[in-house]
Amino acid sequence: MVSSDDSKGDPVAPSTLPSTFNPPADSILWRPDFLLGAATAAYQIEGAAQEDGRLPSIWDTFSATPGKVLHGDTGEIACDHYHRWESDIDLLASLNVDAYRLSIAWPRVMDEAGRPNEAGLAFYRKLLQRLKGKGIRTSVTLYHWDLPQHLEDEGGWCNRATAYRFAEYADLVSRELAGLVDFWSTLNEPWCSAMLGYGTGHHAPGRSDLRAANAAMHHLLLGHGLALRALRRNDPASSKGIVVNVGRGTTDGPTRDDERAAELFELQHNDWVLDPLLRGQYPARLYEELWPGARPDIAEGDMAIIGAPLDFIGINYYFRTNVRSDGAGGYVEVPLADVERTQMGWEVYPDGLSDLLVAFDRRYPNLPPVYITENGMASDDAVIDGAVVDDQRIAFLNRHLAAVDEAVRAGVDVRGYYIWSFLDNFEWAFGYERRFGIVHVDYTTQQRTPKRSAELVRDFLARRRERG
Protein backbone atom coordinates (compact mmCIF):
# COMPACT_ATOMS: atom_id res chain seq x y z
CA MET A 1 0.00 0.00 0.00
CA VAL A 2 1.03 3.61 -0.37
CA SER A 3 2.95 4.93 2.60
CA SER A 4 4.43 8.40 2.54
CA ASP A 5 7.12 9.72 4.82
CA ASP A 6 4.95 11.73 7.16
CA SER A 7 1.33 12.53 7.91
CA LYS A 8 -0.33 15.81 7.04
CA GLY A 9 -2.16 17.08 10.07
CA ASP A 10 -4.27 15.44 12.73
CA PRO A 11 -7.13 13.04 11.98
CA VAL A 12 -10.49 14.75 11.62
CA ALA A 13 -13.60 12.62 12.03
CA PRO A 14 -16.73 13.28 9.97
CA SER A 15 -19.61 14.89 11.80
CA THR A 16 -21.95 11.94 11.20
CA LEU A 17 -20.93 8.32 10.85
CA PRO A 18 -23.23 5.65 9.43
CA SER A 19 -23.04 2.58 11.60
CA THR A 20 -24.44 0.22 8.99
CA PHE A 21 -23.24 -1.36 5.78
CA ASN A 22 -26.27 -1.65 3.55
CA PRO A 23 -25.61 -0.67 -0.07
CA PRO A 24 -28.54 0.57 -2.17
CA ALA A 25 -30.57 -2.09 -3.95
CA ASP A 26 -29.09 -1.10 -7.33
CA SER A 27 -25.47 -1.14 -6.09
CA ILE A 28 -22.97 -3.25 -8.01
CA LEU A 29 -22.12 -4.85 -4.67
CA TRP A 30 -25.30 -6.91 -4.82
CA ARG A 31 -24.18 -8.60 -8.03
CA PRO A 32 -22.94 -12.12 -7.18
CA ASP A 33 -20.15 -11.84 -9.75
CA PHE A 34 -18.72 -8.66 -8.18
CA LEU A 35 -15.88 -9.76 -5.92
CA LEU A 36 -15.70 -8.27 -2.44
CA GLY A 37 -12.56 -9.35 -0.64
CA ALA A 38 -9.70 -8.40 1.62
CA ALA A 39 -5.96 -8.03 1.05
CA THR A 40 -2.62 -8.46 2.82
CA ALA A 41 1.08 -8.59 1.95
CA ALA A 42 3.71 -11.12 3.00
CA TYR A 43 6.21 -8.91 4.82
CA GLN A 44 3.44 -7.08 6.64
CA ILE A 45 1.89 -10.17 8.25
CA GLU A 46 4.01 -13.31 7.97
CA GLY A 47 6.87 -12.88 10.41
CA ALA A 48 9.16 -15.95 10.61
CA ALA A 49 11.77 -13.83 8.89
CA GLN A 50 14.60 -16.28 9.52
CA GLU A 51 12.79 -19.62 9.32
CA ASP A 52 12.76 -22.46 6.79
CA GLY A 53 15.42 -21.05 4.51
CA ARG A 54 13.97 -17.58 4.03
CA LEU A 55 16.62 -15.12 2.86
CA PRO A 56 16.94 -11.52 4.07
CA SER A 57 14.96 -8.93 2.14
CA ILE A 58 15.53 -5.21 1.68
CA TRP A 59 12.81 -4.57 4.25
CA ASP A 60 14.58 -6.71 6.83
CA THR A 61 17.66 -4.56 6.27
CA PHE A 62 15.79 -1.26 6.14
CA SER A 63 13.64 -1.83 9.22
CA ALA A 64 16.68 -2.94 11.22
CA THR A 65 18.40 0.37 10.39
CA PRO A 66 17.94 2.86 13.26
CA GLY A 67 15.66 5.76 12.42
CA LYS A 68 14.05 4.23 9.34
CA VAL A 69 10.86 2.82 10.89
CA LEU A 70 8.70 4.37 13.60
CA HIS A 71 9.57 3.05 17.07
CA GLY A 72 12.21 0.78 15.54
CA ASP A 73 9.55 -1.76 14.56
CA THR A 74 10.42 -4.59 12.18
CA GLY A 75 8.59 -7.39 10.36
CA GLU A 76 10.47 -10.08 12.29
CA ILE A 77 7.25 -11.33 13.92
CA ALA A 78 4.48 -9.13 12.46
CA CYS A 79 1.15 -10.99 12.79
CA ASP A 80 2.92 -14.37 13.02
CA HIS A 81 0.79 -15.44 10.07
CA TYR A 82 3.42 -17.96 8.97
CA HIS A 83 2.52 -20.04 12.03
CA ARG A 84 -1.15 -19.03 12.33
CA TRP A 85 -2.18 -19.22 8.68
CA GLU A 86 -4.74 -22.00 9.15
CA SER A 87 -6.73 -20.17 11.82
CA ASP A 88 -6.33 -16.91 9.91
CA ILE A 89 -7.85 -18.44 6.79
CA ASP A 90 -10.67 -19.90 8.89
CA LEU A 91 -11.29 -16.41 10.28
CA LEU A 92 -11.23 -14.91 6.80
CA ALA A 93 -13.73 -17.50 5.58
CA SER A 94 -16.03 -16.68 8.49
CA LEU A 95 -16.32 -13.15 7.06
CA ASN A 96 -17.89 -14.60 3.88
CA VAL A 97 -15.47 -12.78 1.58
CA ASP A 98 -15.43 -13.75 -2.09
CA ALA A 99 -11.69 -13.35 -2.60
CA TYR A 100 -8.39 -12.87 -0.83
CA ARG A 101 -5.37 -11.00 -2.16
CA LEU A 102 -2.00 -12.04 -0.74
CA SER A 103 1.61 -11.78 -1.82
CA ILE A 104 4.44 -14.28 -2.04
CA ALA A 105 7.73 -13.45 -0.36
CA TRP A 106 10.39 -13.82 -3.05
CA PRO A 107 13.09 -14.45 -0.38
CA ARG A 108 11.06 -17.36 1.01
CA VAL A 109 10.81 -19.45 -2.16
CA MET A 110 14.27 -19.25 -3.83
CA ASP A 111 17.89 -19.39 -2.71
CA GLU A 112 20.62 -17.05 -3.94
CA ALA A 113 21.36 -19.32 -6.89
CA GLY A 114 17.72 -19.28 -7.97
CA ARG A 115 16.99 -22.81 -6.81
CA PRO A 116 13.55 -23.53 -5.27
CA ASN A 117 13.15 -23.54 -1.52
CA GLU A 118 10.60 -26.30 -1.04
CA ALA A 119 9.69 -25.28 2.52
CA GLY A 120 8.64 -21.83 1.36
CA LEU A 121 6.78 -23.12 -1.67
CA ALA A 122 4.98 -25.68 0.50
CA PHE A 123 3.75 -22.91 2.79
CA TYR A 124 2.07 -21.07 -0.09
CA ARG A 125 0.80 -24.25 -1.67
CA LYS A 126 -0.97 -25.28 1.54
CA LEU A 127 -2.27 -21.76 2.07
CA LEU A 128 -3.78 -21.57 -1.41
CA GLN A 129 -5.22 -25.06 -1.14
CA ARG A 130 -6.97 -24.11 2.09
CA LEU A 131 -8.39 -20.95 0.49
CA LYS A 132 -9.66 -22.99 -2.44
CA GLY A 133 -11.19 -25.48 -0.03
CA LYS A 134 -13.10 -22.61 1.59
CA GLY A 135 -14.41 -21.44 -1.77
CA ILE A 136 -12.38 -18.21 -1.69
CA ARG A 137 -10.98 -16.84 -4.97
CA THR A 138 -7.21 -16.37 -4.83
CA SER A 139 -5.36 -13.27 -6.01
CA VAL A 140 -1.58 -13.56 -5.72
CA THR A 141 0.92 -10.73 -6.06
CA LEU A 142 4.44 -11.84 -6.91
CA TYR A 143 6.24 -8.70 -5.72
CA HIS A 144 5.02 -6.61 -2.80
CA TRP A 145 8.30 -4.79 -2.13
CA ASP A 146 10.40 -7.51 -0.44
CA LEU A 147 13.32 -7.78 -2.87
CA PRO A 148 15.95 -10.31 -1.75
CA GLN A 149 18.81 -8.36 -0.20
CA HIS A 150 21.45 -10.16 -2.28
CA LEU A 151 19.86 -8.70 -5.44
CA GLU A 152 19.90 -5.22 -3.96
CA ASP A 153 23.58 -5.72 -3.20
CA GLU A 154 24.03 -6.16 -6.96
CA GLY A 155 22.18 -2.93 -7.75
CA GLY A 156 18.59 -3.87 -7.04
CA TRP A 157 15.97 -2.53 -9.44
CA CYS A 158 18.53 -0.09 -10.85
CA ASN A 159 20.25 -3.14 -12.33
CA ARG A 160 18.61 -4.40 -15.52
CA ALA A 161 19.55 -7.96 -14.55
CA THR A 162 17.01 -7.83 -11.70
CA ALA A 163 14.18 -7.78 -14.25
CA TYR A 164 15.43 -11.11 -15.59
CA ARG A 165 15.83 -12.55 -12.09
CA PHE A 166 12.23 -11.53 -11.43
CA ALA A 167 11.09 -13.37 -14.55
CA GLU A 168 12.90 -16.49 -13.34
CA TYR A 169 11.16 -16.18 -9.97
CA ALA A 170 7.77 -15.77 -11.71
CA ASP A 171 8.51 -18.83 -13.83
CA LEU A 172 9.31 -20.97 -10.79
CA VAL A 173 6.36 -19.88 -8.68
CA SER A 174 3.80 -20.12 -11.47
CA ARG A 175 4.97 -23.65 -12.32
CA GLU A 176 4.76 -24.71 -8.68
CA LEU A 177 1.38 -23.11 -7.94
CA ALA A 178 -0.39 -23.49 -11.28
CA GLY A 179 -4.07 -24.23 -10.85
CA LEU A 180 -4.27 -22.69 -7.37
CA VAL A 181 -4.33 -19.02 -8.40
CA ASP A 182 -7.26 -17.20 -9.98
CA PHE A 183 -5.51 -13.84 -10.44
CA TRP A 184 -1.78 -13.28 -10.78
CA SER A 185 -0.41 -9.76 -10.28
CA THR A 186 3.22 -9.24 -11.18
CA LEU A 187 3.97 -6.12 -9.14
CA ASN A 188 2.35 -4.14 -6.39
CA GLU A 189 2.63 -0.37 -6.76
CA PRO A 190 5.76 0.09 -8.86
CA TRP A 191 5.50 3.85 -8.20
CA CYS A 192 6.20 3.21 -4.51
CA SER A 193 9.02 0.76 -5.21
CA ALA A 194 10.70 3.21 -7.59
CA MET A 195 9.98 6.61 -6.07
CA LEU A 196 9.84 5.89 -2.34
CA GLY A 197 12.55 3.23 -2.51
CA TYR A 198 15.03 4.85 -4.88
CA GLY A 199 13.86 8.46 -5.35
CA THR A 200 13.15 9.77 -1.84
CA GLY A 201 14.61 7.09 0.42
CA HIS A 202 11.48 6.83 2.54
CA HIS A 203 11.17 3.10 1.84
CA ALA A 204 13.61 0.26 1.37
CA PRO A 205 16.28 0.25 0.08
CA GLY A 206 16.45 3.90 1.15
CA ARG A 207 18.15 5.52 -1.86
CA SER A 208 17.53 9.17 -2.81
CA ASP A 209 18.30 9.69 -6.49
CA LEU A 210 15.78 10.70 -9.16
CA ARG A 211 17.74 9.06 -11.96
CA ALA A 212 17.90 5.85 -9.92
CA ALA A 213 14.12 6.02 -9.42
CA ASN A 214 13.56 6.25 -13.17
CA ALA A 215 15.94 3.38 -13.87
CA ALA A 216 14.19 1.33 -11.18
CA MET A 217 10.77 2.06 -12.67
CA HIS A 218 11.88 0.93 -16.12
CA HIS A 219 13.35 -2.30 -14.83
CA LEU A 220 10.31 -2.98 -12.64
CA LEU A 221 8.03 -2.61 -15.66
CA LEU A 222 10.37 -4.67 -17.83
CA GLY A 223 10.33 -7.38 -15.16
CA HIS A 224 6.53 -7.20 -15.19
CA GLY A 225 6.40 -7.78 -18.93
CA LEU A 226 8.90 -10.64 -18.81
CA ALA A 227 7.02 -12.24 -15.91
CA LEU A 228 3.75 -12.05 -17.83
CA ARG A 229 5.25 -14.37 -20.44
CA ALA A 230 6.07 -16.97 -17.79
CA LEU A 231 2.64 -16.69 -16.18
CA ARG A 232 0.86 -17.16 -19.50
CA ARG A 233 3.03 -20.14 -20.35
CA ASN A 234 2.72 -21.92 -17.01
CA ASP A 235 -0.81 -21.12 -15.83
CA PRO A 236 -2.96 -20.29 -18.86
CA ALA A 237 -6.31 -20.62 -17.11
CA SER A 238 -5.61 -17.80 -14.65
CA SER A 239 -6.00 -14.03 -15.17
CA LYS A 240 -2.82 -11.95 -15.28
CA GLY A 241 -2.30 -8.28 -14.47
CA ILE A 242 -0.50 -5.71 -12.39
CA VAL A 243 -1.42 -3.53 -9.39
CA VAL A 244 -0.75 0.21 -9.51
CA ASN A 245 -1.34 2.91 -6.94
CA VAL A 246 -2.94 6.08 -8.24
CA GLY A 247 -3.34 9.53 -6.76
CA ARG A 248 -5.79 12.35 -7.42
CA GLY A 249 -4.08 15.71 -7.75
CA THR A 250 -6.09 18.90 -7.27
CA THR A 251 -5.32 22.52 -6.56
CA ASP A 252 -7.02 25.27 -4.62
CA GLY A 253 -4.71 27.81 -6.26
CA PRO A 254 -6.19 30.49 -8.55
CA THR A 255 -3.69 30.49 -11.41
CA ARG A 256 -3.09 28.47 -14.55
CA ASP A 257 0.30 27.54 -13.07
CA ASP A 258 -1.52 25.99 -10.12
CA GLU A 259 -3.73 24.00 -12.47
CA ARG A 260 -0.62 22.87 -14.33
CA ALA A 261 0.88 21.82 -10.99
CA ALA A 262 -2.04 19.44 -10.40
CA GLU A 263 -1.57 18.04 -13.91
CA LEU A 264 2.11 17.45 -13.22
CA PHE A 265 1.32 15.67 -9.98
CA GLU A 266 -0.91 13.17 -11.78
CA LEU A 267 1.58 12.93 -14.64
CA GLN A 268 4.33 11.63 -12.36
CA HIS A 269 2.04 9.63 -10.09
CA ASN A 270 -0.28 7.98 -12.63
CA ASP A 271 0.87 8.46 -16.22
CA TRP A 272 4.48 7.49 -15.42
CA VAL A 273 3.20 3.95 -14.79
CA LEU A 274 0.03 3.65 -16.85
CA ASP A 275 1.30 5.15 -20.12
CA PRO A 276 4.04 2.56 -20.67
CA LEU A 277 1.66 -0.25 -19.69
CA LEU A 278 -1.30 0.89 -21.80
CA ARG A 279 0.29 3.12 -24.48
CA GLY A 280 3.68 1.49 -24.82
CA GLN A 281 5.59 4.70 -24.09
CA TYR A 282 6.59 6.97 -21.23
CA PRO A 283 4.85 10.37 -21.25
CA ALA A 284 7.20 12.76 -23.07
CA ARG A 285 6.02 15.68 -20.96
CA LEU A 286 7.39 13.98 -17.85
CA TYR A 287 10.97 14.37 -19.04
CA GLU A 288 10.46 17.61 -20.94
CA GLU A 289 8.89 19.56 -18.09
CA LEU A 290 9.32 17.81 -14.76
CA TRP A 291 12.40 15.58 -14.82
CA PRO A 292 14.76 16.69 -17.60
CA GLY A 293 17.81 14.43 -17.78
CA ALA A 294 16.19 11.59 -15.81
CA ARG A 295 14.92 9.47 -18.71
CA PRO A 296 16.02 5.83 -18.26
CA ASP A 297 18.00 3.79 -20.77
CA ILE A 298 15.55 1.85 -22.92
CA ALA A 299 16.71 -1.09 -25.05
CA GLU A 300 15.09 -2.00 -28.33
CA GLY A 301 11.99 -4.09 -27.74
CA ASP A 302 11.55 -3.07 -24.08
CA MET A 303 8.37 -1.07 -24.59
CA ALA A 304 6.67 -3.87 -26.50
CA ILE A 305 7.43 -6.22 -23.60
CA ILE A 306 6.15 -3.70 -21.05
CA GLY A 307 3.00 -2.93 -23.05
CA ALA A 308 1.84 -6.51 -23.48
CA PRO A 309 -1.95 -6.88 -23.11
CA LEU A 310 -3.33 -7.37 -19.59
CA ASP A 311 -6.30 -9.43 -18.45
CA PHE A 312 -7.00 -6.92 -15.68
CA ILE A 313 -5.47 -3.99 -13.87
CA GLY A 314 -5.52 -3.53 -10.11
CA ILE A 315 -6.05 0.00 -8.81
CA ASN A 316 -5.00 1.02 -5.30
CA TYR A 317 -6.42 4.33 -4.08
CA TYR A 318 -6.27 6.05 -0.71
CA PHE A 319 -6.34 9.87 -0.85
CA ARG A 320 -5.92 13.00 -2.92
CA THR A 321 -3.06 15.48 -2.84
CA ASN A 322 -3.68 19.22 -3.07
CA VAL A 323 -0.85 21.10 -4.76
CA ARG A 324 0.11 24.55 -6.02
CA SER A 325 2.81 25.80 -8.32
CA ASP A 326 6.23 26.07 -6.73
CA GLY A 327 7.03 29.02 -8.99
CA ALA A 328 9.78 27.08 -10.74
CA GLY A 329 7.84 24.88 -13.12
CA GLY A 330 6.97 22.20 -10.57
CA TYR A 331 4.55 21.76 -7.70
CA VAL A 332 4.47 21.75 -3.92
CA GLU A 333 1.94 20.04 -1.69
CA VAL A 334 -0.37 22.37 0.23
CA PRO A 335 -2.60 20.37 2.60
CA LEU A 336 -6.16 21.60 2.88
CA ALA A 337 -7.54 22.67 6.25
CA ASP A 338 -10.76 21.43 7.83
CA VAL A 339 -11.10 18.20 5.87
CA GLU A 340 -11.65 14.72 7.18
CA ARG A 341 -8.41 12.79 7.67
CA THR A 342 -7.43 9.33 8.83
CA GLN A 343 -4.85 8.25 11.40
CA MET A 344 -2.27 8.55 8.60
CA GLY A 345 -3.19 12.19 8.12
CA TRP A 346 -4.50 11.34 4.65
CA GLU A 347 -7.58 13.18 3.43
CA VAL A 348 -10.72 11.10 2.96
CA TYR A 349 -11.76 11.95 -0.60
CA PRO A 350 -13.98 9.32 -2.25
CA ASP A 351 -14.62 11.50 -5.31
CA GLY A 352 -10.98 11.07 -6.22
CA LEU A 353 -11.55 7.37 -6.86
CA SER A 354 -14.49 7.87 -9.21
CA ASP A 355 -12.76 10.81 -10.92
CA LEU A 356 -9.66 8.77 -11.66
CA LEU A 357 -11.50 5.66 -12.81
CA VAL A 358 -13.57 7.66 -15.30
CA ALA A 359 -10.49 9.58 -16.47
CA PHE A 360 -8.50 6.38 -17.04
CA ASP A 361 -11.38 4.83 -18.97
CA ARG A 362 -11.40 7.83 -21.30
CA ARG A 363 -7.62 8.17 -21.59
CA TYR A 364 -6.93 4.51 -22.33
CA PRO A 365 -9.29 2.88 -24.88
CA ASN A 366 -7.60 -0.44 -24.12
CA LEU A 367 -8.13 -0.21 -20.35
CA PRO A 368 -8.68 -3.80 -19.19
CA PRO A 369 -11.22 -4.80 -16.54
CA VAL A 370 -10.47 -3.09 -13.23
CA TYR A 371 -10.29 -4.43 -9.70
CA ILE A 372 -9.89 -2.06 -6.77
CA THR A 373 -7.12 -4.10 -5.19
CA GLU A 374 -6.59 -1.84 -2.17
CA ASN A 375 -8.73 0.78 -0.49
CA GLY A 376 -9.02 1.39 3.22
CA MET A 377 -7.96 3.57 6.10
CA ALA A 378 -5.98 3.58 9.33
CA SER A 379 -7.57 4.46 12.64
CA ASP A 380 -6.40 4.28 16.23
CA ASP A 381 -8.48 1.22 17.04
CA ALA A 382 -8.66 -0.36 20.47
CA VAL A 383 -10.53 -3.34 21.90
CA ILE A 384 -13.04 -2.10 24.49
CA ASP A 385 -15.20 -4.63 26.30
CA GLY A 386 -14.26 -7.22 23.70
CA ALA A 387 -15.27 -5.13 20.69
CA VAL A 388 -13.74 -2.66 18.24
CA VAL A 389 -16.19 -0.04 16.99
CA ASP A 390 -14.53 1.56 13.94
CA ASP A 391 -17.27 3.91 12.76
CA GLN A 392 -14.96 6.05 10.65
CA ARG A 393 -13.82 3.01 8.66
CA ILE A 394 -17.42 1.95 8.09
CA ALA A 395 -18.20 5.42 6.74
CA PHE A 396 -15.04 5.29 4.62
CA LEU A 397 -16.01 1.97 3.04
CA ASN A 398 -19.59 3.06 2.38
CA ARG A 399 -18.47 6.23 0.62
CA HIS A 400 -15.70 4.68 -1.46
CA LEU A 401 -17.89 1.82 -2.59
CA ALA A 402 -20.45 4.42 -3.62
CA ALA A 403 -17.68 6.07 -5.66
CA VAL A 404 -17.02 2.73 -7.39
CA ASP A 405 -20.73 2.51 -8.16
CA GLU A 406 -20.59 5.97 -9.69
CA ALA A 407 -17.69 4.96 -11.95
CA VAL A 408 -19.50 1.80 -13.05
CA ARG A 409 -22.55 3.86 -13.99
CA ALA A 410 -20.23 6.05 -16.06
CA GLY A 411 -19.15 2.99 -18.01
CA VAL A 412 -16.01 1.79 -16.24
CA ASP A 413 -15.67 -2.00 -16.09
CA VAL A 414 -14.96 -2.52 -12.37
CA ARG A 415 -15.30 -6.13 -11.27
CA GLY A 416 -14.18 -6.25 -7.65
CA TYR A 417 -13.01 -4.44 -4.53
CA TYR A 418 -10.51 -5.57 -1.89
CA ILE A 419 -10.48 -3.92 1.51
CA TRP A 420 -7.06 -3.02 2.83
CA SER A 421 -6.55 -4.78 5.05
CA PHE A 422 -7.73 -8.10 6.43
CA LEU A 423 -5.46 -7.76 9.51
CA ASP A 424 -3.80 -4.91 11.31
CA ASN A 425 -0.16 -5.27 10.30
CA PHE A 426 3.32 -3.82 9.86
CA GLU A 427 2.64 -0.54 8.08
CA TRP A 428 6.09 -0.11 6.50
CA ALA A 429 7.83 3.05 7.72
CA PHE A 430 5.07 3.57 10.30
CA GLY A 431 5.57 0.21 12.01
CA TYR A 432 2.69 -1.08 14.09
CA GLU A 433 1.19 2.23 15.20
CA ARG A 434 -1.21 2.64 12.26
CA ARG A 435 -4.03 0.11 12.06
CA PHE A 436 -5.62 -0.57 8.65
CA GLY A 437 -7.23 -3.94 9.39
CA ILE A 438 -10.86 -4.90 9.64
CA VAL A 439 -9.53 -7.41 12.17
CA HIS A 440 -7.68 -6.05 15.20
CA VAL A 441 -4.39 -7.72 16.13
CA ASP A 442 -2.94 -7.55 19.62
CA TYR A 443 0.76 -7.76 18.77
CA THR A 444 1.68 -9.00 22.25
CA THR A 445 -0.75 -11.92 22.40
CA GLN A 446 -1.52 -12.22 18.65
CA GLN A 447 -5.22 -12.26 19.56
CA ARG A 448 -7.46 -11.48 16.57
CA THR A 449 -10.67 -9.49 17.13
CA PRO A 450 -12.97 -8.73 14.19
CA LYS A 451 -13.89 -5.06 14.19
CA ARG A 452 -17.41 -3.77 13.66
CA SER A 453 -16.54 -3.15 9.98
CA ALA A 454 -15.67 -6.83 9.51
CA GLU A 455 -18.93 -7.90 11.12
CA LEU A 456 -20.96 -5.63 8.85
CA VAL A 457 -19.20 -6.88 5.71
CA ARG A 458 -19.78 -10.46 6.89
CA ASP A 459 -23.48 -9.83 7.44
CA PHE A 460 -23.93 -8.07 4.10
CA LEU A 461 -22.26 -10.90 2.18
CA ALA A 462 -24.45 -13.42 4.01
CA ARG A 463 -27.53 -11.46 2.86
CA ARG A 464 -26.20 -11.34 -0.70
CA ARG A 465 -25.74 -15.10 -0.75
CA GLU A 466 -29.27 -15.57 0.50
CA ARG A 467 -30.56 -13.40 -2.33
CA GLY A 468 -28.60 -15.47 -4.83
d(CA 66, CA 395) in angstroms, rounded, equals: 37
**Residues 107 and 173 sit within 8 Å (Cβ to Cβ):** no
Q: Residue 69 has what pLDDT?
A: 98
Q: What percent of the chain has pLDDT over 70?
A: 96
DSSP code of 5? S
E strand residue ranges, 98-152: 99-103, 137-143
Which are the catalytic amino acids?
374
Please report, for residues 55, 56, 146, 155, the alpha-carbon distance to residue 150 in angstroms, rounded to integers and kept in the order given: 9, 8, 12, 9
d(CA 85, CA 71): 27
**Alpha-carbon distance 112 to 43, whole Å?**
19
Residue whose C-alpha is closest to residue 390's, from 79, 94, 17, 22: 17
CATH topology of domain 28-467: TIM Barrel (3.20.20)
pLDDT in tens, 224-267: 999 999 999 999 999 999 999 999 999 999 999 999 999 999 99
Helix (H, G, I), strand (E, B) or coil at 136: coil
Please, are residues 457 and 417 in contact by the beta-carbon 8 Å criterion? no
438-468 pLDDT tens trace: 999 999 999 999 999 999 999 999 999 999 7
What pLDDT is stored for residue 26 in this prediction? 92
3-state SS, 150-188, equals: HHHCCCHHHCCHHHHHHHHHHHHHHHHCCCCCCEEEEEE
Triad 127, 140, 90: Cα angle to 5°: 35
Q: In 3D, which of 246, 247, 262, 249 has the Cα closest to residue 326?
A: 262
Residue 141 has φ and ψ, to the nearest 5°, of -100, 130
Q: Are 409 and 352 in contact (CB under 8 A)?
A: no
pLDDT beneath 70, residues of the chain: 1-19
Q: Give the pLDDT of residue 21.
A: 87
- Supply the pLDDT for residue 20: 85
> H/E element holding 263?
helix 256-266
How do the domains of the chain map onto residue ranges?
A: 28-467
pLDDT at position 1: 56
pTM: 0.96
Contact 468, 32 (CB under 8 A): yes
Length of the chain: 468
Cα Rg of the chain, angstroms: 21
Nearest-angstrom CA–CA distance, 192 and 195: 5
- Between CA 359 and CA 412 the distance in angstroms is 10
pLDDT value for 329: 93
**Residue 17 has what pLDDT?**
56
458 φ, ψ to 5°? Answer: -55, -45
